[in-house]
Structure 1
Amino acid sequence: MLIVISSVLIMIILSLLRVNVVLAILIAGIAGGMLAGLDITASLELLVEGMGGQANTALSYIMLGVFAIMIGYSGITNVLVQYLIKTLKGKRGVLLLTIAGVACLSQNVVPVHIAFIPILIPPLLSLFDRMRVDRRAVAAALTFGLKAPYVMLPVGYGYIFHNTIAVEMTSGGMDMTHTEIWKAMLLPGIGMIIGLFIALFITYRKPRNTNPESVPEEEPAAGTVSFTKQHLLTIIAIAAALGSQIYFDSLILGALTGIVLMFLFVVVPFKNGDSVVNEGIKLMGMIAFVMLIASGFANVLQETGAVEQMVDQTIQYSAGATLLTAAVMLLTGLIITMGIGTSFGTIPILAALFVPFCLSVGFSPLATAAIVGTAGAMGDAGSPASDSTLGPTSGLNADGRHNHIWDTCVPTFLHYNIPLFIFGLIAAMVL
């Protein structure tokens, strides 16, 4: 148990001390291996071996970064910003709820996950500055949209999440269908909604001056941007990219389709290809590498048996289907997911060990689903290595004025993990 807790704490403490997240995860991974009895070389080798687990995701992020730069080059986002300035002037709450709504749609109706963030958010930064919007509120809105739909709804990415819970529970000896999981996850999802409103309308309600050089909100933007043929061709490229992504079920092929069309349509001159690619790597390269090294960290924890050992020891100290037992399992999930950085990857680990125990002490199938699902979801918000936090930071830090840990991870950890824990406990006790 101490191996997982110690290594995750090392990562979190170093991150809070503003050590670069890549170095923090690297040090934590090596420390985890050494605590498990490996030498420093073997620990590093195990970490490097596991980095390939997120290679597809990392390349997807790079390609999306290049496509996002191309879209910005076309100028179409200036049209959007101009429209939003006119319609949402002074309406901070409406703007933030709109962003949360768009993020929710990215999980089911248009299942692009975080792909929309580097396209939509960077052009809106000037609007946020003009309206004195606290970017921590924007981060909270984005993370809510990236998490709440798959927690609550069995569609899009939610179908994958709910089906994973159902399949793993059935494998563990407790029959469950994915169509029933939403009943167990409804209360935790309501907790996230409450956390969103607290973040937007209480904690980060006051105006915040992120950019001292920004133009005051009352002063209109200079000039007018008209919709042109280039903008229309850009929309066609975006639609084609989305269609390709859905058809081939590949973010890489989707982004590549959009990139090729932007060149063919001469929206971006071919001679500017090198600079566009370099800017795209600059935008998303850091996030891509964080995902790679986080996968290596997860590999160290799993291959050394540290995760299974932690869960086994946790179960040994629990007795009966009590509030304390449920709380211990939820906190175990929080710690593991904070380190691994993905709810989807944590569910199989937790379910394999939690379900037989819940079955033996008398938790109902719905209560067990609530425990497993909430334990897996906790920590995804707030983890330095999660795409639910890396995605928002990729957009909000495009101008270098948003800190990944203090402006994204800490706010989302507080506003979503605490309500998830509270409402997950309620669900475990009443279902």
Structure 2
Amino acid sequence: MLSAYRQDTFFLNRALPVLIGLAAIYGALWLFAIPVNAVVLAITLMVVFCLIKIPVAVSLVSAALLGGLHARMTMPDILQVLNDNLLSGAQVGMTYIMVGAFAVALARSGILDWVAQKMASSLNREGAHVRQQVKWMLFALFIVASLLSQNLIPVHIAFIPVLIPPLLGLMNRLRLDRRAVACILACGISASYLLLPFGFGAIYLNEILLENFNSVGAASGYAATASMAPKAMFFPVMGLLAGMLFAVFITYRKPRDYIKVTKAETENTDMIATDEKIEIGLQPLLFTALAVVTVLLFQIYFDSLFIGAMIGFMILGFSGIYRWQAQDDVFTQGVRLMAEIAVIITIASSFGALLTATGDIDPLVASATQFFGDNKLFGAAVMLVVGLFITIGFGDSFASVPILAPIYIPLAFALGFSPLAALAMLGAAAALGDAGSPASTITLGATAGLNADGQHDHIKDSVIPTFFHANIGMLLFTWVAVVWLLG
């Protein structure tokens, strides 16, 4: 009853006044015959709906319907556009589902638990006289795990709640600031899929970024190849690296004290006690290695992460790592892990198509071109900030690309940007905000691991630190690159 009351209070005190304010502003604009661009209206509504806690999928569909109606499209036409464009997004969404199932099966193998325990026990034996060495070994572990989680072993954020909790006791003794760890995880995960074309990187760079860039950019004479995507994203990733280094060496370099957690409290919070020895046999190790190699080979040679993840899932099922009867349960958990992302990506594809169908993109680009003139410096800055605003709204860079592409590519062409610069700006703008959004899987995953003992706040210790270090660094480096180096 109390939780329901709090939810009603949030709606009455925050959400409802915002909705009434939006309706009043729209009514005033209509009353004074002030034109409103349907694309701007739809995107603004989508972001506002997300910020007032309406589910992202519902926000996308609702904003699309309202934007289409404002553009004087009929309801049947709006629904036809939405339905016709679900397929392209669904292909990527299904890949996410299968990767989620593989991630859960991999976690069932106990490999991550075993690695975490071995790391903690070996470091514990080192002693206090090598405190700095232990600290940097931990940071290196977090960086490597973040990079591998998106590409070689595509488990996304599933490794964080398994790897981090067993190490919290050690981190407390070293007095590590967990905000630095949150920045390492966010920057490492983002950099991996933005730069390396394997696993989730293959999905983002090839199946989402390149596909949308080429399909939308064909009308402007833009074309990009697979080799151009990593080149375009190099400078944004360098911004992430700079932000991570700034967090580790400057912002959060000072020691921070946390309350020592007793063994009873550790068990109550589902943390793994390091004194309970975990042993992994040769058979699980071999089958896990075979599954990982299979996924990697299918990515490289057959260009199909979906099939690779499916076969990897089957290999782990045949291996006996978990009971054969539990396969449905493992797959269902994988669906739950990735379902929200898959649904958002599927609907976002239709949302982007509807923006094009309104016919208001060309007037928007024309008015923006008049406003910017030939000032690439100002134009690039505004476009990147808009991308940051949009992605912060619903916290998913993969779903941002089809929303931004119909606007960014014609505008980049009108401003005279090269295809490589336009690709970099689109890819970076869609990723901006992902690491610093309260709804992002990256920040949620970081909090799930670092708050296992109740001493890490989601907003203050995950969202705000990652926003200022990951997003600001990427924005500045991208801005400099597209204006002076790639443009």
Q: Residue 226 in 1 paired to residue 226 in 2?
A: no
Correspondence for 2:55: 20
Following TM superposition, by how much is the alpha carbon of 1:119 offset from its aligned partner in structure 2, in angstroms? Answer: 4.7
Q: Which secondary structure does the structure 1 equivalent of 2:375 belong to?
A: coil
Indicate the larger mover: 97-106 or 166-175: 166-175
How big is each residue's C-alpha offset from its partner over 1:104-125, in whole Å with a ceiling of 9 and x where there is no partner? Answer: 4566xx566xx23255223124
Following TM superposition, by how much is the alpha carbon of 1:257 offset from its aligned partner in structure 2, in angstroms? Answer: 0.7
Q: Residue 381 in 1 paired to residue 432 in 2?
A: yes
Correspondence for 2:46: 11
How big is each residue's C-alpha offset from its partner over 1:325-363, in whole Å with a ceiling of 9 and x where there is no partner? Answer: 33334345556767894476578646742454334xxx7
Following TM superposition, by how much is the alpha carbon of 1:226 offset from its aligned partner in structure 2, in angstroms? Answer: 1.6
Q: What's the TM-score, normalizing by structure 2?
A: 0.67
Correspondence for 1:214: 266
Q: Aligned partner of 1:95: which letter?
A: L
Q: Aligned partner of 2:291: which letter?
A: A
Q: Cα distance 1:330–1:78, how it changes in 2: closer, same or farther (>3 A)?
A: closer
Correspondence for 2:6: none
The 5-angstrom pairing of residues 25-424 of structure 1 reads: 25-38=60-73, 42-87=77-122, 94-104=137-147, 110=151, 115-127=154-166, 129-130=168-169, 131=171, 140-148=183-191, 172=220, 187-200=235-248, 206=256, 213-214=265-266, 221-228=274-281, 229-321=283-375, 323-334=377-388, 341-342=397-398, 345=402, 349=406, 352-359=409-416, 365=418, 369-370=420-421, 373-383=424-434, 389-390=440-441, 393=444, 397=448, 412-424=466-478
Judge conservation of contact 1:383–1:389 (CA < 8 Å) in 2: yes
Q: Which secondary structure does the structure 2 equivalent of 1:317 belong to?
A: helix
What CA distance in whole angstroms lies between the structure 1 residues aligned with 2:459 and 2:83? 24
Q: What's the TM-score, normalizing by structure 1?
A: 0.75
What CA distance in whole angstroms lies between the structure 2 residues aligned with 1:319 and 1:172? 18
Judge conservation of contact 2:186–2:435 (CA < 8 Å) in 1: no
Correspondence for 2:20: none
What CA distance in whole angstroms lies between the structure 1 residues aligned with 2:220 and 2:291? 45
Indicate the larger mover: 185-194 or 60-69: 185-194
Q: Cα distance 1:87–1:199, how it changes in 2: closer, same or farther (>3 A)?
A: farther
How big is each residue's C-alpha offset from its partner over 1:204-228, in whole Å with a ceiling of 9 and x where there is no partner? Answer: 675678x994369xx9623211221
What CA distance in whole angstroms lies between the structure 2 residues aligned with 1:385 and 1:176? 29
Q: Cα distance 1:165–1:97, how it changes in 2: closer, same or farther (>3 A)?
A: farther
Following TM superposition, by how much is the alpha carbon of 1:34 offset from its aligned partner in structure 2, in angstroms? Answer: 2.9
Indicate the larger mover: 32-41 or 242-251: 32-41
Q: Which secondary structure does the structure 2 equivalent of 1:305 belong to?
A: coil
Q: Cα distance 1:119–1:312, how it changes in 2: closer, same or farther (>3 A)?
A: same
What CA distance in whole angstroms lies between the structure 2 residues aligned with 1:152 and 1:270? 37
Show structure 1 runs of 5+ residues with no match. none
Q: Which secondary structure does the structure 2 equivalent of 1:378 belong to?
A: helix
Q: Which secondary structure does the structure 1 equivalent of 2:166 belong to?
A: helix
Q: Cα distance 1:282–1:201, how it changes in 2: closer, same or farther (>3 A)?
A: farther
What CA distance in whole angstroms lies between the structure 1 residues aligned with 2:221 and 2:466? 35
What CA distance in whole angstroms lies between the structure 2 residues aligned with 1:104 and 1:32? 39
Q: Aligned partner of 2:111: which letter?
A: I
Following TM superposition, by how much is the alpha carbon of 1:382 offset from its aligned partner in structure 2, in angstroms? Answer: 2.0
Q: Which secondary structure does the structure 2 equivalent of 1:214 belong to?
A: helix
Following TM superposition, by how much is the alpha carbon of 1:56 offset from its aligned partner in structure 2, in angstroms? Answer: 1.9
How big is each residue's C-alpha offset from its partner over 1:133-158, in whole Å with a ceiling of 9 and x where there is no partner? Answer: 88775554344234435766899759
Aligned-pair identity in percent equals 28
How big is each residue's C-alpha offset from its partner over 1:288-316, in whole Å with a ceiling of 9 and x where there is no partner? Answer: 22222222322322332344443332112
Following TM superposition, by how much is the alpha carbon of 1:253 offset from its aligned partner in structure 2, in angstroms? Answer: 0.8
Q: Cα distance 1:239–1:353, how it changes in 2: closer, same or farther (>3 A)?
A: same
Aligned residues: 418
Judge conservation of contact 1:125–1:396 (CA < 8 Å) in 2: no
Following TM superposition, by how much is the alpha carbon of 1:166 offset from its aligned partner in structure 2, in angstroms? Answer: 10
Following TM superposition, by how much is the alpha carbon of 1:377 offset from its aligned partner in structure 2, in angstroms? Answer: 1.0
What CA distance in whole angstroms lies between the structure 2 residues aligned with 1:93 and 1:45? 55
Following TM superposition, by how much is the alpha carbon of 1:79 offset from its aligned partner in structure 2, in angstroms? Answer: 0.7
What CA distance in whole angstroms lies between the structure 1 residues aligned with 2:435 and 2:157? 18
How big is each residue's C-alpha offset from its partner over 1:168-196, in whole Å with a ceiling of 9 and x where there is no partner? Answer: 98985689998888887655443322222
Following TM superposition, by how much is the alpha carbon of 1:233 offset from its aligned partner in structure 2, in angstroms? Answer: 2.3
What CA distance in whole angstroms lies between the structure 2 residues aligned with 1:403 and 1:20? 22
Q: CA RMSD in A?
A: 4.7
Judge conservation of contact 1:314–1:329 (CA < 8 Å) in 2: no
What CA distance in whole angstroms lies between the structure 1 residues aligned with 2:217 and 2:107? 45
